[in-house]
Amino acid sequence: MNIEETQASLRRVSAKLQQTVNPSNNQRVGELFERILESFYSNVLRPGDTAIDIGASRGIHTVPMARAVGDTGRVLGFEPIPQVRALLTDAVRQAKVSHIVEIHPLALSNYSGSSQFTVVMDDIGYSGLKDRALPFEADKQTIEVPVDILDNYVADDARVTFIKADVEGGEFPALQGGIKTLEKHRPLVVFETGRAFSAQLYGYTKQDLFGFFQELGYELKDILGCRYLEEQWDQFGPWNLVAYPYEQGRTVADVLSIAIAENLIGFSWDARQGAES
């Protein structure tokens, strides 16, 4: 089977898998998306590259990125929550990649200054620059955090090849703050999106988002390898999107297909094990 046939087969499998993406099994499908993401950037990053982790959290992706770029590369990790940043720092230290990772104690957006930041103590992963309704009674705390734009932290001699953004709805404003980095380096980007919910919360429209990437010469796929178009804005589906320059379309299709194939096998095995237990 050649690469075109392989990709066509994977698209059919991915389309079927999307039917399982629904609110009742978000956690398990989310774990699959995280595995695909790691496989994807692990096959994209090379020694000497710079990777950017927006919303680095405890380092689940920061550390593998550091291993991928090696001693001559850099990883920029941004994490504004003090107690989470302490865990990130410890994870980086234990992995012996402190010389590769720069940890920045701030939130990224499309402006510089400071802001109130909502920390959800019951589930830190729901924390963000905007307070929002949650599907459970939450213990929330508000802290003041510095806010800045990504472009202020990328060195002139960096070779930025990959950006990951997961900041609970604030991904698009964070990418807007990196417009010069995107224009200069044309990195691959994987970011979460809450679609209309995130847009309303952070004050932008779907036209803003699609127009932003179109002006950059980027296209969008979801994490399962299917093209993501404006008409899918209101549809429930994979919440991780891949943004890539037009000229890298074939490379992205190949690498993403491999990442999907590797992890769909594991996903199917996990499902079978669960059914048997």
Q: 3-class secondary structure for 50-71?
A: EEEEECCCCCCCHHHHHHHHCC
Whether residue 124 is predicted with pLDDT greater than 90 in this model: the reply is no
What's the pLDDT score for residue 269? 43
Output the pTM of the full model: 0.88
The answer as to whether 272 is a domain residue is yes
124-132 mean pLDDT: 87
pLDDT in tens, 218-268: 999 998 888 888 988 887 778 899 999 999 999 999 999 889 888 876 555
The answer as to whether 215 is a domain residue is yes
What's the pLDDT score for residue 275? 41
pLDDT in tens, 30-61: 788 899 999 999 999 999 999 999 999 999 99
**Single-letter residue type at 7:** Q
Whether residue 10 is predicted with pLDDT greater than 70 in this model: the reply is no
Provide the domain limits for residue 37: 17-111+152-238+265-276
The answer as to whether 121 is a domain residue is no
Return the sign of the alpha-carbon dihedral for residues 68, 70, 72, 77.
positive
What's the pLDDT score for residue 87? 97
Q: Are strands 50-54 and 74-78 parallel, antiparallel or unpaired?
A: parallel
The answer as to whether 91 is a domain residue is yes
The answer as to whether 33 is a domain residue is yes
pLDDT in tens, 62-118: 999 999 999 999 999 999 999 999 999 999 999 999 999 999 999 999 999 999 999
The answer as to whether 8 is a domain residue is no
The answer as to whether 144 is a domain residue is no
Closest CA to 242 of 214, 218, 222: 222
The answer as to whether 131 is a domain residue is no
C-alpha to C-alpha distances, 110 to 92, 239, 259, nearest whole angstrom? 27, 21, 31
97 touches 71 (CB < 8 A) = no
Domain count along the chain: 1
Residue 123: pLDDT band by 50, 70, 90 thresholds? Answer: confident
Q: What is the CATH number of the domain that holds 209?
A: 3.40.50.150
